[in-house]
Structure 1
Amino acid sequence: MPVTLYYYTGWQECQLHGCPKGDSAWRDMAFKTVPGKPSVHELHVEADGLEFVVCDMQKKYWDNPPDWYGKKNYLISEAGKYSLRNGHLRRIRDTPVLVVTDLDHTLIGHERDPENKLLEDFKTTWLGEYAPNGSALAYSTGRNKSMALDVAKERHLPRPELLICGVGTEVYAIPSSLPLFDWWEAGASLQLMPEWKSKVLDGFDRKYVEDILLAAFPKFELRGTPEDDPYRIPTAYQMDENFDAGKRTLQETLGEKYQVISSGHGEWKLIDICSSQAGKGKALEFAQRELKFEPGRTLACGDSGNDELMFRCDGSYGVMVANSLPELVEAMTKNAQDSVLAKGKTFWTTTWRWQEESRT
């Protein structure tokens, strides 16, 4: 049985110096580059295990285990597929999954992770156990593209397959030729996916919606610009006892071609108006089709009202993080027995991890 090792490195060339299980002699084995993944190198060894370290081809620089690893050499005890990144040796999962995650207060920027330790744990888990097996990652955020790229750079987020912005109104494919990190530097060249734009967004009439808001709904304060938010109209509502009725009346006035999406908690609610064929739920379904993942192998993660539609996608799995806003908790609790919502499977966690035992 073979051992396959994927090694994340900035070295152009590198080699493994190790001893296959059952052998007595150490030897050098060169890694091969992985096409389309310049930061990943690959090695196959016919063995049931392996003790090793990694070095450059001149043996000037060495990758030895960090102190917390507890051993002087890396150790693989049985055949299988593994990855090594920043001292973390991980066994690669067998089955690919699609993860579609919100950013703010879900993956990043929440009070349960002030030092980004959970975020770093996600990166290690994702890159070590899932990314090498064909799994796919998509970021789905209320931020516009520019703001999403800014936070990706700030938090050093790994390259996704798709970047979904503007509460599911914009979908961008991220080329695999871009680096695993620093991919955000190519943000200016990212264009809306033609398949998404032609099927979903061409019917969005911005002036029609703005005229209705200005004429009859002054409580919904217009925000954003056509340049930053081309296929949604962001508004804000200062909360009062009339909010629910006002939102319902606005939806009825706009008609079935549009949807009114609310999120936030406190004095102000953020309200987005977009096509009924957009939104985070429709964008998740589009991601499944484009990336070829069945709903049963899709996991959606979120914390607020604009994430609710992802949890309504038939057959998909969902994570409401432990710091989710009351609006999402109340909606999911109230509708837990709905025939539509019950088709999804949602569970709670403080950090992301695909767990077979959680699939009930």
Structure 2
Amino acid sequence: MTNDQRRLTIDWVETREIAIVAQFLLVTDLDNTLVGDEAALVELNQRLTWHREQFGTKIVYSTGRSPTSYRQLCSEQTLLTPDALVTGVGTAIYYEDHSTSDASWADRLATQWDRDKVVAIAAHFADLVPQPDSEQGAFKVSFYLEEAIAADVIPQLETSLKVQDLNIKLIYSGGQDLDILPTQADKGLAMTFLREKWQLSPAQTVVCGDSGNDRALFSMGDERGIIVGNAMPELLQWHKSNPKPHHYLANARCAGGILEGLHHFGWF
């Protein structure tokens, strides 16, 4: 190796090290991902606070919860104030006081979406049990569906919706939660929207999850992914079938798994 080649190699390594410790975007699910191990959450909060103050790191909570349910969680757990809150499995994005959702994101989801028609068609399926009103949204129709019959019901429902030319996708997770969303809505697409808004690269983005509705976070591209050690079988099976070098399966659970993953990727 020539001296010039050595110098280029050293420069590349130094640049990579600077990139690792610099600003990044953390996008994490809440229940059983960020929340679930109080001691680990305290440590993670401390480290993220320091990193945000030093490098401008962005924190996004991406949850299936509604804003109401999120506020309830905040009253029970010590959570950092996020730079953005993604609720309803990617159907709404909030900033600052979380009182008004991002209008440009809502405009994207509105194309060919007819919530009333979705509700009317779903009403013909007796096995679908509507979730509480607080968990419904302008771009989210949610039901409980038993896991034992989900494989039969979901394809039939999807066919009934699509023959009406409705702009929909179905997301089933946790062995009970079925969400009907616009095609342009999910956690991964909301993450991409925010990443581009803040002009951060996939290599500067870390996503964390534990369940089926988090698969979209891990499916977008080269974002670093942390699957926590207590992940549900539905996500573990997907990870096994879709192995990627930039995805990390942690041993520790919940916030401890996020800490472990951030150490693995070199940010902590």
Is the pair's TM-score, using the shorter chain for normalization, greater than 0.5?
Answer: yes
Give the shorter-chain TM-score range. 0.7 to 0.9
Cα distance, 1:226–1:150 mapped onto 2, change above 3 Å: closer
Structure 2 residue identity aligned to 1:146: T
Any runs of at least 4 consecutive aligned residues in structure 1 with deviations exceeding 4 A, and if so which? 356-359
1:345 is the counterpart of 2:251? no
Kept in 1, the 8 Å contact 2:158–2:170? The answer is yes
Q: Secondary structure at the match of 1:208?
A: helix
The share of aligned pairs that are identical, in percent, is 26
Q: Deviations over 1:46-88 (max 9, x none)?
A: xxxxxxxxxxxxxxxxxxxxxxxxxxxxxxxxxxxxxxxxxxx
Q: Deviations over 1:267-286 (max 9, x none)?
A: xx110001010011111111
Kept in 2, the 8 Å contact 1:223–1:235? The answer is yes
Out of 38, 54, 58, the residue aligned to residue 132 of structure 1 is 54
Out of 149, 169, 180, the residue aligned to residue 259 of structure 1 is 169
Note the residue ranges of structure 1 that are not aligned, 5 or more in a row.
Answer: 1-92, 175-185, 337-341
C-alpha deviation, 1:202, in angstroms: 5.2
Structure 2 residue identity aligned to 1:237: L
Tell me the TM-score normalised to structure 2 length.
Answer: 0.82
C-alpha deviation, 1:227, in angstroms: 8.4
Query: Relative contact order: is structure 1 or structure 2 higher (C-alpha 8 Å, sep ≥ 6)?
Result: 2
Cα distance, 1:314–1:106 mapped onto 2, change above 3 Å: same
Cα distance, 1:271–1:149 mapped onto 2, change above 3 Å: same
Kept in 1, the 8 Å contact 2:168–2:182? The answer is yes
Cα distance, 1:135–1:251 mapped onto 2, change above 3 Å: same
Tell me the TM-score normalised to structure 1 length.
Answer: 0.62
The total of aligned residue pairs comes to 238
Kept in 1, the 8 Å contact 2:27–2:205? The answer is yes
1:191 is the counterpart of 2:100? yes
Q: How does 1:113-128 map to 2 (within 5 A)?
A: 113=37, 116-128=38-50
CA RMSD in angstroms, aligned pairs only = 2.1
Q: Quick check: which one's strand share is greater?
A: 1
Cα distance, 1:128–1:150 mapped onto 2, change above 3 Å: same
C-alpha deviation, 1:358, in angstroms: 6.6
C-alpha deviation, 1:254, in angstroms: 2.0
Out of 168, 172, 195, the residue aligned to residue 288 of structure 1 is 195
Q: Secondary structure at the match of 1:277?
A: coil
| C-alpha distance in 2 between matches for 1:226 and 1:160 | 22
Q: Quick check: which one's helix share is greater?
A: 2
Out of 9, 18, 34, the residue aligned to residue 107 of structure 1 is 34
The corresponding residue for 2:144 is 236
The corresponding residue for 2:109 is 200
Kept in 1, the 8 Å contact 2:136–2:142? The answer is no
| C-alpha distance in 2 between matches for 1:120 and 1:358 | 20
Structure 2 residue identity aligned to 1:161: D
Q: Deviations over 1:118-171 (max 9, x none)?
A: 000111110123443111000001110011122123212111110000111111
The corresponding residue for 1:272 is 179
| C-alpha distance in 1 between matches for 2:40 and 2:204 | 23
